[in-house]
Structure 1
Amino acid sequence: MLSGLIQQFEKASATYAAANGLERDGDWFVLKLQEEMGELTQIWNKATGRGRRKGMSDEELAIALADETADVLGHVLLFARRNGLDLAAAVERKWRFRPGEGISS
């Protein structure tokens, strides 16, 4: 399950990088993850009254929160792929379940 998702994020990221002339070196992956966490935090602050909403409706904030969370997820997976991390094994160790097990479509 995770490996397929990781490959989808990798394809999208590589396509974006090529189209925009970006070099995805080792540092890029962790720096991009940090950038996305900052954006998620900014939206969270707006959504929880800790930041200026700048005219954003509750619906727009909810969409932005979901979008930024998706960015963080993608960049976590890209970081793991770049660094050869076995996230499935880590989830099993740390969270005590196997990703994809018990999920039906």
Structure 2
Amino acid sequence: MLEKLAGQFEAASATYAEKYDIARDPDWFLLKLQEEIGELTQTWNRKTGRGRRKDRSEEDIRRDLADETADLFGHVLLFARANGIDLASAIERKWLFRPAQG
């Protein structure tokens, strides 16, 4: 399941990168993770009253939180794929369960 998801994120990311002429070199994958963590943190700060709401409703903020979490998840999968990391094996080793197979 994770490998299939990673492939789907890869296809979407490659299309986006081509459209906007973005070079996805090895550093890019880690830098994007950092960027997405920042965006998730910024949204969390809005949700918890630690940041400006920027005229965002509670519903907007919850949707933003979900969207930023999805971005982070996608970039974790892209980082793992780009670096030859077998996430399923790592999850089994670190979290002591085997991820469901697609």
Report TM bin, short chain: over 0.9
Query: Matched residues in 1 for 2:100 and 2:10: separation?
Result: 20
Aligned residue for 1:66? Answer: 66
The CA deviation at 1:55 is: 1.1
Aligned residue for 1:83? Answer: 83
Question: What's the % identity of the aligned pairs?
Answer: 66
Normalising to structure 2: TM-score of the pair? 0.97
RMSD: 1.1
Aligned residue for 2:95? Answer: 95
The CA deviation at 1:54 is: 1.1
Counterpart residue identity of residue 53, structure 1 = R
Do residues 36 (structure 1) and 36 (structure 2) align? Answer: yes
Q: Secondary structure at the match of 2:46?
A: helix
Query: Matched residues in 1 for 2:78 and 2:62: separation?
Result: 24
Q: Secondary structure at the match of 2:100?
A: coil
Paired residue total? 102
Query: Matched residues in 1 for 2:55 and 2:41: separation?
Result: 18
Aligned residue for 2:19? Answer: 19
Counterpart residue identity of residue 13, structure 2 = S
Residue ranges of structure 2 left out of the alignment (5+ in a row): none
Higher relative contact order (CA 8 A, sep 6+): 2
Normalising to structure 1: TM-score of the pair? 0.94
